Amino acid sequence: MKTVLQRVSSASVTVDGKRVGEIDKGLLILVGVETGDSEEDSRYLAQKAAELRIFPDADNKMNLSLLDAGGAALVVSQFTLIADWRKGRRPGFSRAARPEEGNRLYEHYSECLRSLGVRVETGVFGAHMDVMLVNDGPVTMILETQKESAPA
């Protein structure tokens, strides 16, 4: 499982012209699910996202977590994070989880964040989404649970 965390001052996601999720200060989290990922992976990455100290304290040092800062999370599914781009010019997606499993673990990830006390908004799994954000910092981190495998 791979996530991209972007510290934002605001973010939103729109599907078919309708805003389906929106946050102010917090994290925009893109989630990619790979074949073989588990609930343990989603739980681990959700806890890391909630507890990573990447928000500024009163001295403008990155000492506060999402929970400490009182921020929210906008969680968006993004299977393209799992792309294998090493051969040729067209990325391959054979390592991405099947849609049913990807959706299940994406939803599980979101629920894990909620259970930790984070206010969570989401996109729509499998939909074409327009995502807007104001990246704060910019601060962007990639978290993953599986090592990149050898080319297929």
Q: Would you please indicate which residues are annotated as catalytic (active-site) residues?
A: 78-80
Give the integer Cα–Cα distance in Å for 14 and 22: 9
> What is the identity of the amino acid at 33?
V
| HSE value, Cβ hemisphere, 13 Å, CA-based, for 138 | 9
> Residue 99: CB partners within 8 Å, gap ≥ 6?
125, 126
Q: Using the structure block, give the residue that is written with the tokens 């327009």.
A: 130
